[in-house]
Amino acid sequence: KVMGQDLLLVTRGAALLAYDVASGTEVKRVPLGAPAAQPPVGGGGKAFVLLKGGQLAAVDLGRAGGLAWAPVKDVPVTAPLLVSELA
């Protein structure tokens, strides 16, 4: 849930897409720079996508005017990502 809106996160090619669950409307799209190696995970208003080539994209879903992402390099692509909202 981001800004009161339930979102479905998917990747298509080298982009992250967020859809409003209630209407099915695409509400956000961000280029990732590389295709996803695994499905995206969300938590705390952010999405995390492990990219082919070993980068991790952290996307702020609540950012107005578009999504910001910061790559983290050399992430092993061997296990699925987990997000905890307990912190």
For residues 67 and 26, give the distance between their C-alpha atoms in angstroms, rounded to a whole number. Answer: 14
CA 4 from chain centre, in angstroms, equals: 17
For residues 79 and 62, give the distance between their C-alpha atoms in angstroms, rounded to a whole number. Answer: 27
pLDDT of residue 25: 95
pTM over 0.85: no
Q: What is the mean pLDDT of residues 46-73?
A: 76
Answer whether residue 12 shows pLDDT above 90: yes
Of residues 23 and 33, which shows the higher confidence score? 23
State percent of the chain over pLDDT 70: 69
Q: What is the mean pLDDT of residues 1-22?
A: 88
